[in-house]
Amino acid sequence: MTFQAYLDTIMKKTGLGPKDFCELAEKKGFLEPGVKVTTITDWLRDEFGLGPGHGMAIVATLKEHSGDDERLEKQFAGAKERWRPTYDSLLAALGGFDSVGEIGTAPTDTYISLTKPAPKGPAKFAIVVFTADRMDVGIKLKSAEPVGRFEPAGSWNSMVTHRVRITDPAQVDAELLDWLHRAYDAA
């Protein structure tokens, strides 16, 4: 059974998805450091009738989501704060494409992954990195040759194929959105 199949079964059984369980777990304090996995799986068994495999699938999604808000806020700390409206506008523009489904974000301590739902778990199609002076967008699009400002990612980040250096919010334009849309489709 794939990871996504576990989540689909849980949704059918409980009517709840990973974000719902994340919200419930947060209210119960289960996303705090030091909470044991058995505490969470016991809760999932007792309140939702989930067995060990399905319970661990939810635990995995909770780990994925715990700390996301804090990590996201750290991306925009200090001088990098100026990039928050540009990032929010980028996500809003991507969400406006009819053929683009749900776009997920997965912040780490150094970048934010942009993902799409996939059978084996979220598929990364881009990353966004911030400095005080720049917002770099890494795009995973193996079928496209580097051209113009869409330079090869090289050693900057091996998870993506192209890098775009944004120094002005106006550079988040139709061309960049087209590349991200194609990367989403290819992921």
Looking at the DSSP assignment, which residues form a beta bridge with residue 62? none
Type of residue at 2: T
Distance CA(162)–CA(156), nearest Å, equals: 9
Task: Answer yes or no: do 89 and 148 share one domain.
Answer: yes
pLDDT of residue 103: 79
H helix count then E strand count, the chain: 7, 6
As a whole number, the mean pLDDT across the chain is 87
Q: pTM for the full model?
A: 0.67
Domain ranges, residue 20: 3-66
Which strand (E) or helix (H) includes residue 27? helix 18-28
> What is residue 147's three-state secondary structure?
strand
Residues 95 and 137 in one domain: yes
DSSP 98: T
Amino acid at the residue 146? P
Q: What distance, in Å, lies between the first and last C-alpha atoms of the chain?
A: 21
Q: Are residues 46 and 78 in the same domain?
A: no
pLDDT at 64: 63
pLDDT band for position 116 (50/70/90)? Answer: confident
pLDDT band per the 50, 70, 90 thresholds, residue 57: confident
Q: Are residues 26 and 98 in the same domain?
A: no
| Same domain (yes/no): 59, 78 | no
Q: Are residues 52 and 98 in the same domain?
A: no
Overall domain count for the chain = 2
- % the chain with pLDDT above 70: 91
Domain boundary among the residues 66, 99, 117 is at 66
Q: Please say if the pLDDT value at position 171 is more than 70.
A: yes
Here the CATH number for the domain that contains residue 152 is: 3.90.1150
